[in-house]
Amino acid sequence: MSGRRVAMFLSTLIVGGVLVVGVAFSQAGSSTILSGVHVGSVDIGGLAFPTAQRALEEQWKAMRVNGIRLQIGESYETVSLGSMGATFDIRGTMERAAAYGHTGPIIQRAKDRWNARVDIVEFAPAIHLDPSAISSAVSALTKRHDVSRKDVRFVVADGKLDVRTDVQAGKVINPAKLSGIIQSRLERLDTTNIVVDIEADPVQADPSTGTQALLHAQAMVAAPILLSYGKEQFSLTPAQLVLLIASTRQDNRLVPDVDRERLAEDVANIALFINSDFRATALKV
């Protein structure tokens, strides 16, 4: 046999062998999920399509019944899937998982089958979540468990401005971090408890700066503020001004500021009074 004929014969054998392997790949267990295939944390490898689909349906049903379990300190909370608008396209997920190693070019199928043999091949379940619903659910949790920080601050007692120095560090849950963990668990169909980190919220201002800050704030409200419009005159008295003092910080120092929202309300009341045909005997601001 000539060299050319030998080459052609070998080529025919190789092509034929590849085709046979390809047919074997497409036929052998074509309705069976390859071993090693997972959907999230659920192992469906080696299962027939209907059996694998039932496994995902049962997992999702259990998650809908039990919700996402959170351990926060010594207490436990449950977030329901319904409260997060969670839905799961099980059929679509199954079709992607079932196609692995059974569709596509022959060489790719061979690679896929090898990957599934030597390692876990994990498919992400097609879960849809409502970000605003997750945010609302997590916000409700943080309100129940956060311990607010107490900084050195201004207070009004008996109509007089004062400073409180009974500072205390807070304990808070990071809502963005917790939302991400919950979403990750859902996207892996993971039912294990989530241990929530409670982070320290340290005191921001040095209590010893309170005395100087109080002197500054008292100077700001020592005299009334007079406003005039035409023949009309209005006064914001010291007793009213102390209610406008807000606590802010520069570096680690307490400094007085103005509560601009409350001031805007007072100014709006004056403007309404000026624009009204009715003249009250006293202006309430």
Q: Under DSSP, is residue 281 helix (H, G, I), strand (E, B) or coil? A: coil
pLDDT at 75: 93
Whether the CB-CB separation of 195 and 141 falls below 8 Å is answered with: no
pLDDT at residue 278 greater than cutoff 50:
no
- Over residues 121-150, the pLDDT tens digits come to 999 999 999 999 999 999 999 999 999 999
Tokens matching residue 272: 């309404």
Tokens matching residue 36: 């090693």
Binning pLDDT at 50, 70 and 90, where does residue 5 land?
Answer: low
- Over residues 162-204, the pLDDT tens digits come to 999 999 999 999 999 999 999 999 989 998 999 999 999 999 9
User: How does strand 37-39 pair with strand 121-123?
Assistant: parallel
Q: What radius of gyration, in Å, describes the C-alpha atoms of the chain?
A: 35
Whether the CB-CB separation of 224 and 193 falls below 8 Å is answered with: no
Mean pLDDT for all residues in the chain: 86
Cα separation of 175 and 188, whole Å? 20
pLDDT at residue 27 greater than cutoff 80:
no
- DSSP-derived letter for residue 88 is E
pLDDT at 4: 53
3-state DSSP of 248-267: EEECCEEEEEECHHHHHHHH
Kindly state the average pLDDT of the residues 87-99: 96
User: Quick one: CA torsion of 89, 90, 92, 97, rounded to 10 degrees?
Assistant: 140
pLDDT at residue 270 greater than cutoff 90:
no
